[in-house]
Amino acid sequence: MDGKKCSVWMFLPLVFTLFTSAGLWIVYFIAVEDNKIIALNVPERQPGSKRPPYISIAGDTPPASCVFSQVMNMAAFLALVVAVLRFIQLKPKVLNPWLNVSGLVALCLASFGMTLL
């Protein structure tokens, strides 16, 4: 690392990915426990017997919907923080600032879309 100090912020994208995926799996397990969907590993799964394990169906009714809402809100916040930090990090280094600004706008819109979800 050439003697440079590492910042704790470099782990934020990894934390974002791990917590979002773990949260979505928790929503899936809650929906399986409440018999809203059939588990993926059930061998006698027949078409039309129960709903397939889509995340939109798994997070449709409480308590899974409450957990799904909180997971998506936290993911949106972390994505927004990652977007702003990445914008600030690249601002002095880029030759075409429009690309950096468009990336920030795209991630802000994605974060807003996750809050609406």
What are the tens digits of pLDDT across the range 1-12? 555 777 888 898
Model confidence at 104, in pLDDT bands (50, 70, 90)? very high
What are the tens digits of pLDDT across the range 25-64? 999 899 889 888 878 777 766 665 555 667 777 778 889 8
- DSSP annotation of 5: P
pLDDT at res. 111: 94
Across all residues in the chain, what is the average pLDDT?
85
Domain ranges of the chain: 9-39+50-116
Q: Which two tokens stand for residue 63?
A: 């308590």
pLDDT at res. 10: 86
**With 0-12 CB in 10 A as exposed, 13-18 as middle and 19+ as buried, what is 28?**
buried
Q: How far is CA 50 from CA 45, 58, 78, in A?
A: 8, 12, 34
- What pTM did the predictor assign? 0.79
Compute φ and ψ for 88, nearest 5 degrees: -65, -35
pLDDT at res. 67: 92
Of all residues in the chain, the percent with pLDDT exceeding 70 is 88
Dihedral of CA atoms 58, 63, 67, 73 in degrees, nearest 10, equals 90
pLDDT at res. 2: 59
pLDDT at 108 over 70: yes
